Every structure is written in C-alpha cells, then in structure tokens.
Structure 1
Amino acid sequence: MGPLTGLKVLDFSTLLPGPFATRQLADLGAEVLRIVSPRHPDLMQQFPTTDGYLNGDKRRVLLDLAEPGARDQVRPLLGDYDIVLEQFRPGVMAKFGLDYESLKADFPELIYCSLTGYGQTGPLKDKAGHDINYQALSGLASYGGSERPQLTSVPVADLAGSLNAVIAILAAVHERHRTGRGRYLDVSMAESALKLNAMEAPAVSAGTPSPEPGRGWLNGGLFYDYYQCADGKWVSVGGLEPKFIQALCDGLERPEWVERFLDPSPARQQALKVDLQAVFAGEVRSVWLQRLSGDCCVEPVLTLAEALQHPHFVERGVHKSFFRRLD
C-alpha cells in the first residue's frame, strides 16, 4: 500500500524514459498497464534484467495501435484509468485517435502526459534524438568534463525527462483533487536537460561568459576531483567549505595546506591538485578511508557492484528496488 495506491496508469511508452517514469509511479503504489506492440519489440527486451526492473511488475496488453479497431479497444480502458503516458513523436497518437484533444471531452478527468525529445512545438519537435543529442543541445556537454565533451553511461537527459514527467503528473493529480479536471502535460527531455544548468544558467543569462570545461568549481578547476591511491583505486574529494577543508588537511597531516585550498586562483589550484595526487598515491585507499572517515567529504569511487552492496544502501533497502522479476 503506497501513497499512490488506487491510481491507475496507462503506459504507451518504450525504451527507458517513459518506463522509468511509470516505474517510479508503480513503486509509489500506482497500478500500471503497458500497451505493448506485437510488431515493434521494445529495445529494452535485449537487456532482460533492465527490462525486468523497468517493466517486470506491470501488467501488459498486446495491441497494435495501427490496426483498425485498436482505438475502440483502448477507449473503454480510459474510463477506468487516471493517467496516460505516451512517448511517440508529436502527432502519432492523433493518427490513432488517441491524442488528448480527441479524448478530453469524453474523459475530462484524464491526465495525459507526452514525453518526447524536443516537445510538442518548436522547429525540432519532429526530429529524432537520443540522450547525447539532448545533452549537447542543452549546453551540458560543453562544460561537463575537464577537457573535451565527456560521454557518460548514465543517460542524464532521458532520466531527467522521466523524473520531470513524474513531477508533472503528481502535480496534475493534486490539481485534479482541487478542480476535478485533468490536464495535458508536454514534457521534453532536451528541456529537462537544459533545466539542469541550474548553477550556471542564471549567471550566463545575466551576461557572464559561458562556463568552460576544466575551469569551474565542479569540473576540474578546483581541488574538487578524483584522486588515485597507491593500489590503483580512486577516492572523491568534495569538501568546499572551510570546516571540511580543515578536517581534510588534518587527516592528510597537512594542516598548513588550508590556505592553499582556500586560494581560488587557477594556477595555485592546479599546483595543489598535483600535490594532492602525490599524497594520495602514497597509501592504499583503505588507509585513506580510515584516516579521512570524519567530515572530510571523502568517499571511495565504487564499482556499481560494490555500490549495490554498500552497507548504507543495504540498511536503507534502496538496493532492493533493482531486483525485479523478469517480464
């Protein structure tokens, strides 16, 4: 019995973004029914454990929306469902007679979310894209790394779009409790990525030059970075505030370095990083984690397997959310 128990979601999405959004709703207690095409297999099925996590607990119905009569099979469901989430390009659901404009008169309480790459309007609305394109277009890729644009295995824009869809849906549910009416939600993954520039975009909008790779507080311009230990393993150093810097310097047995940490000049920060790397390279990681176990903002860089077994996550039970039966 989760907080969304009783809420019912009709899920027309595939791949990662839509299913991840409805997975979050399901984890909160919502009932999710997937409409699955028998002609177009979901690419996620090539990764059965991922598909099992995203979709394993959801009910599903095989239905080809392009077939005559498909609309007539979907519409009876809508009277019993609160939310529709779809991930087609703009205009596709209209071809099936299942877009919001075609449904809202008969189902005024329906909350209808379209999750797409570029949104329902604008010059890019019909263009294909993937996470790397959304990160590039949003500016994130231009300064996210220490040198050239960096690739990451985590599809940041896709997942940001997923979570924004969940937020928008829950806001619409709250509004419906007050007004009795549903709402159409247009969620864009590219715009979701753009909104992640929360630290830099206000300054740039006010006239500050765009951030550059390797020059900022969080992308290599300061000591805030990863350092390799004597055994080849890595640690993260993130304490930006003076009290954390003091604790770090004490743990490193370099109390005289506090002023170096607090000096933001690029040349001195880069020299500090060279010296820090030399210090960390002098001991294995387990020694450093013991010495820096206090409020130093130092943590090990774990493999994913190690992270899933970390005592903190195990005690809180969050690791269990990934262990789903296969669909």
Structure 2
Amino acid sequence: MSINTEAAGQRRWQFPPAGRAPLTGLRVLDFSTFGPGPFATQIMADLGATVIKVEKVGGEVQRHTVPEFFRALNRGKSSLELNLKDPEDNRLCRRLAAEADVLVESFRPGAMDRLGLGAEAVAEANPALVYVSIPPFAQSGAGSGEQGHETQFNARSGAFVDPGGAMHEPPPAPFSDLGSGAFAVIGTLAALGQGDRHATRVGVPVLGAAVSFMFMRLLRELNADTTVDRPWRSEPAAGPFPTGGNGFIAFSAVDPKAWGALVELLDEPRLRAPEFADYASRQQRIPEVNALITARLAADSQERWLERFRAADIPVAPANRAQDVFEDPFVQALGILERHPAPHVRLPINGIPSVTNIHPPELDDCGAAVREHGWHALESR
C-alpha cells in the first residue's frame, strides 16, 4: 500500500462527533468492479458513507453472472449507469469526482488517465480528494499492463503449490480480493486522518494483499528441506480430521501443552515415541503423525470427540458445511451473519457506532436524480 501526498487542499469532510456512524457524510465515488473495490466501499457504506457506484451501461458484469456476490458487496449503495467514453457522461463523472471525498477505481494503470479521470486530472478540481487505486499488479513495471483475477494472484503468491511442489486446488476463500479491499479501507482512513489535508493517492495492488497474507507460509517454506516428502498440510496434528461417521473435527495441537493433552486424550502408545517428542521431529513426520491420529479418531463420533477435546482444553471445532455455519452457536454469538432479507454479513467490529445497509439497490437506483442533482440528490437518504 502506497500513500503519496500531492497538492494541498481543504478537505470538506471531517470525522463526525461521537454517537454517529464514523463515516457519516463521507462521499465515495466507486468505479470498481468484482471483489476488491466493492468490498472496500461496502465497508465504508456500512460505516455510514454515501457511496455512488458507477456502472457501465447494462450494469456491472457480476450483477448478472454472480448476483449473490453482487448483492453481498453492494448493499445500500446508489448505482448509476454511465458510458465513460460519452462526453456528457464523462462530464458528469468529473463533476461528481470534484465534489467527492474519496474516489475508488480498480482499472489497470493508465485507464482512468485516458478517460480524463486520473488522479492528477481530478486533483486539479478537487485537491483534497483521497484517490484510491486497486490495480491487479504494480502501478508500473512488470505486470502493470496485465489483467488479473483471484486465480492469478493465488498462483503468483504461492498459494497453489505445497512444500513438496505438488499442485492443489485454489484456496476456498478469495483472500486476495477481500484482503486488498480491507487494505484499501485502512489506507483511506489513514489518508482521511492526515492533519495536513493534502490530496492523497492510495495504491493497493491486489497481488500485494495476496503476498502479505501468504508471507508467514512463505517464511516457513523458504528454508524447508525440499528433499523431504511433505504433504499439503504443513503442520502435524493440526487441521481437519475425519471422525467415525461423516463428521470432521478441526483442531490444533502444535504447542507442547496441547500436544501433551492430545497424546493423553487419544491414548495411542505410538504417539509417545521419542521421535514425536518435540515439534521439529513431528514436523519431519507429518504423514505418520496424522495417520495415527486419524486412525484413533475413527473410533467415535464427531460430537463425542468435540466434547472430549474441549474437556482436555485442546482448541477444536466442527468442520462446518456452508449450511452449518449459519446454525453454529459460536457464529451466532457474533451477531453478524443473517439470512434475511438476503444472506449477508455485518462488520465484525464492536465498540464504535456503525450502520449496516442490508438492502441492495435496484439497477440505476436514484440514477436520474444523481444525474440532475449530483450528490445533493442523496443527502436526505
């Protein structure tokens, strides 16, 4: 994430007084698509910002291809269909940008410049704007002109390949997309909090988020002995394991206390062998350790093992299916995941006033009013 200050300007927006949503009154103009940018602006909207989502004529692709994702990432925003190459629509965009507090875009570097909506051009009319770019790769140099999606970010960050060099399926969650969106919010808040009120350019390449989240695993594997046949699991006695029946439990017994409790609980003599006494030794024998644990867990049900692991104070959880997550009492206690009026998740943050918009806008919601009155059309919403 890079933050560069440019020409000085007087920022109109200020953090509101206590008791109001933290981003109340913040005007965010959102040109982004798919996951990273919309996730960032959804967080801002949930914290009280007013967001105008600029979509191409016919609507963003994901509105039609994966509508459930679109609804989840664009709740409570006002959408506006525009052809950015049309002179009239382009002028409207420039007018909205001139009055915005934050602009978010996720095009390849140079695309907004060619439309006359690049950071330097917009700063001339709005020298206090926080201009947030979420490109696939770096702003310049290798990859700057290429397209990218979650698959490419996972591949370049090392997420597909295990320590032994075998290839695996992609991670089950789009950590690159969502991670870059979260970093974009952090950068935006940092820029808004700058006392000098200068115009700010925030850059958050999606690949950068992927590498950041992969960093700890990369460190672990960097000096690993590649002659050892290592499975996909990079730790012994950690992760999901099958139990008797159809259920799985997921636990972590990597520290000495938890490992000792696990050995006592499973009562498997071979796990007491000297070659399993310390973590480094077990790390060299992951398949053997996990096979012994798996064989022992087959003797009883998921429910019984969960009770025993908890009683032994070993971190454990059921390996939930999607429908189980909504019913999990630990998840329900968070109070963030809901089914109605459509499945959605609230911000997992407590202690500050926030809002959660749960109704997605209709196509071109308030579009006519915004075209005529700009941001003023949304002031009463």
What TM-score, normalized by structure 1, do the two folds share?
0.88
Matched residues in 2 for 1:305 and 1:261: separation? 39
TM-aligned CA deviation for residue 271 of structure 1: 2.0
Map of 2:211 onto structure 1 = 194
Q: 1:35-91 CA distances to partner (integer Å, 9 max, x unpaired)?
A: 111146422433323222211311112211111122321222234321000111111
Name the SS of the counterpart of 2:134 in structure 1. Answer: strand
Amino acid at match of 2:39: F
Aligned with 1:301 (options 293, 313, 319): 319
Map of 1:148 onto structure 2 = 167
Matched residues in 2 for 1:287 and 1:253: separation? 15
CA contact (8 A) 1:16 1:44 kept: no
1:225 aligned onto 2:239: yes
Aligned with 2:331 (options 303, 313, 320): 313
CA contact (8 A) 2:236 2:254 kept: no
TM-aligned CA deviation for residue 306 of structure 1: 0.9
Aligned with 1:57 (options 76, 81, 87): 76
Structure 2 matches for 1:150-229, cutoff 5 A?
A: 150-175=169-194, 178-201=195-218, 208=223, 215=230, 219-229=233-243
Amino acid at match of 1:325: H
Aligned with 1:264 (options 275, 280, 284): 280
TM-aligned CA deviation for residue 188 of structure 1: 0.7
Q: 1:319 to 1:255 in 2, by over 3 A?
A: farther
Q: 1:85 to 1:239 in 2, by over 3 A?
A: same
Map of 2:309 onto structure 1 = 292
Matched residues in 1 for 2:206 and 2:326: separation? 27
Matched residues in 1 for 2:304 and 2:315: separation? 16
Query: What is the aligned residue count?
Result: 322
Name the SS of the counterpart of 1:235 in structure 2. Answer: strand
Name the SS of the counterpart of 1:184 in structure 2. Answer: strand
Matched residues in 2 for 1:111 and 1:17: separation? 17
Amino acid at match of 1:137: R
TM-aligned CA deviation for residue 118 of structure 1: 0.7
Q: 1:263 to 1:56 in 2, by over 3 A?
A: closer
Aligned with 1:322 (options 345, 359, 365): 345
Q: 1:198 to 1:152 in 2, by over 3 A?
A: closer
Map of 1:85 onto structure 2 = 104
TM-aligned CA deviation for residue 10 of structure 1: 0.6
CA contact (8 A) 1:142 1:212 kept: no
TM-aligned CA deviation for residue 278 of structure 1: 0.6
1:252 aligned onto 2:271: no
Q: 1:203 to 1:291 in 2, by over 3 A?
A: closer
Name the SS of the counterpart of 1:123 in structure 2. Answer: coil
Name the SS of the counterpart of 2:160 in structure 1. Answer: helix
TM-aligned CA deviation for residue 172 of structure 1: 1.1
Q: 1:191-241 CA distances to partner (integer Å, 9 max, x unpaired)?
A: 21112233245577xx8359799748x933422232111112111121221
Map of 2:53 onto structure 1 = 34
Q: 1:140-187 CA distances to partner (integer Å, 9 max, x unpaired)?
A: 323379942332332221222211211111111112xx0111211121
Map of 2:95 onto structure 1 = 76
TM-aligned CA deviation for residue 13 of structure 1: 0.9
Map of 1:238 onto structure 2 = 252
Matched residues in 1 for 2:104 and 2:225: separation? 35
Q: 1:262-319 CA distances to partner (integer Å, 9 max, x unpaired)?
A: 3533554432211100111111101111111242011110012211221122122111
The Cα RMSD (Å) is: 2.7
Amino acid at match of 1:188: P
Amino acid at match of 2:301: V
**Higher relative CO (CA 8 A, sep ≥ 6), structure 1 or 2?**
2
CA contact (8 A) 1:289 1:298 kept: yes
Gaps of 5+ in 2: 1-19, 339-343, 347-357, 362-381
Q: 1:211 to 1:160 in 2, by over 3 A?
A: farther
Matched residues in 2 for 1:242 and 1:170: separation? 41
CA contact (8 A) 1:223 1:270 kept: no
Q: 1:110-142 CA distances to partner (integer Å, 9 max, x unpaired)?
A: 000111111321121111221111111122323
Gaps of 5+ in 1: none
CA contact (8 A) 2:241 2:250 kept: yes
CA contact (8 A) 2:24 2:49 kept: yes
Matched residues in 1 for 2:162 and 2:327: separation? 32
Matched residues in 1 for 2:94 and 2:318: separation? 52
Matched residues in 2 for 1:215 and 1:31: separation? 50
Amino acid at match of 2:206: M
Name the SS of the counterpart of 2:337 in structure 1. Answer: helix
Q: 1:270 to 1:41 in 2, by over 3 A?
A: closer
TM-aligned CA deviation for residue 23 of structure 1: 0.9
Name the SS of the counterpart of 1:10 in structure 2. Answer: strand
